[in-house]
Amino acid sequence: MKDFEINPSILSADFGHLADEIKKVEKDSTFLHIDVMDGHYVPNITFGVPVVKAIRPQTNLIFDVHLMITNPMDFVEAFADAGADMITFHVETVEDPQPVIDKIHSLGKRAGMSIHPDTPIDKILPWVEKCDLILIMSVRPGFGGQHFMEESLDRIAAVKKIVEEKGLNTIISVDGGICTETIDRVVKAGANLLVAGSAVFSNDDHAKAIRELISCVSL
């Protein structure tokens, strides 16, 4: 992985032209962030397994499926079969995360765990070494285009500290409100995979938007 990468979230893409939208970001990214919402864990509904399956043949981007659903274990296998490469579930949605992580790994996929901004960061710290990716939500999950919550910076730093202390290569991803104004602080706090929905797809030239985000980081 590079020092940091932009992970375009198709939540803000034009769903009527999804394949074309994905083509527009392909050259400037490695990952594609896919937000699955069930109307229970979050107050919104997006798309599910059939859409992941439909876009899989369109691209070689790494599919980072973000499950905002109350019963992730029931759907892990279906998303793996549909073409997910990384499957991320929320720590708040399971009593014991270990079996879900094990299931994802048994399917040959990378396991991610996400945390809601209202959940104390301590809840996820013991899992940093067991996951391939930690996804820190920097907005309340459910909708694109919200403002970055500044208190997320300390939460990113807390995860980064564990990664450094233990010499891990867990990806530290941040999701919500990433834009030209916020990205530099987020990367400096320790994140290396930046999910960006509206910042990428609200600009007609999606590829240029990705390059602009990257240019705002001074390392």
Q: Compute how many other C-beta atoms are within 10 angstroms of the C-beta atom of residue 15.
A: 12
Size of the site for ligand DX5 (CB under 6 A): 21
Chosen from ligand DX5, Zn ion, none, partner binding at 144 (C-beta under 5 to 8 Å by type): ligand DX5
Q: Which amino acid is at 103?
A: K
Question: Shortest gap between Cβ of 218 and Zn ion (angstroms)?
Answer: 26
Q: Which two tokens stand for residue 219?
A: 């390392």
Q: For residues 51 and 178, what is the distance between their CA atoms, to the nearest angstrom?
A: 25
**Contacting ligand DX5 within 158-197 (CB under 6 A):** 175-178, 195-197
Q: How far is the CB of 35 from ligand DX5 (least distance, A)?
A: 5
Residue 201 and residue 24: Cα distance in Å, rounded?
10
Out of 4, 5, 8, 9, the residue judged to bind ligand DX5 by CB under 6 A: 9
d(CA 61, CA 56): 9
133, HSE (Cβ side, Cα atoms, 13 Å): 29
**Amino acid sitting at position 117:** P
Contact 104, 87 (CB under 8 A): yes
CB of 186 to ligand DX5, least distance (A): 11
The rounded distance, in Å, linking the Cα atoms of 40 and 141 is: 12
Q: Which one, 83 or 145, has the nearer CB to ligand DX5?
A: 145
Tell whether residue 116 is a contact of ligand DX5 (CB under 6 A): no
In the bound complex, what is the minimum distance in angstroms from residue 143's beta carbon to ligand DX5?
Answer: 6
Q: Lay out the site mask for Zn ion across 159-188 (x = CB under 5 A, - = otherwise).
A: ----------------x-------------
The catalytic residue positions are 35, 175
Dig out the tokens for 40 from the structure. 């229970």
The encoded tokens of residue 167 equal 């010499």
Among residues 35, 219, 54, the alpha carbon closest in space to that of 137 is found at 35
Cβ distance 131 to 166 under 8 Å?
no
- Footprint of Zn ion on 61-80 (CB under 5 A): 66
Q: Does 112 bind ligand DX5 (CB under 6 A)?
A: no
Decide if residue 152 touches ligand DX5 (CB under 6 A): no
Say whether residue 38 binds Zn ion (CB under 5 A): no
* Contact residues for Zn ion, defined by CB under 5 A: 35, 66, 175
* Contact residues for ligand DX5, defined by CB under 6 A: 9, 11-12, 33, 35, 66, 139, 141-142, 144-146, 175-178, 195-199
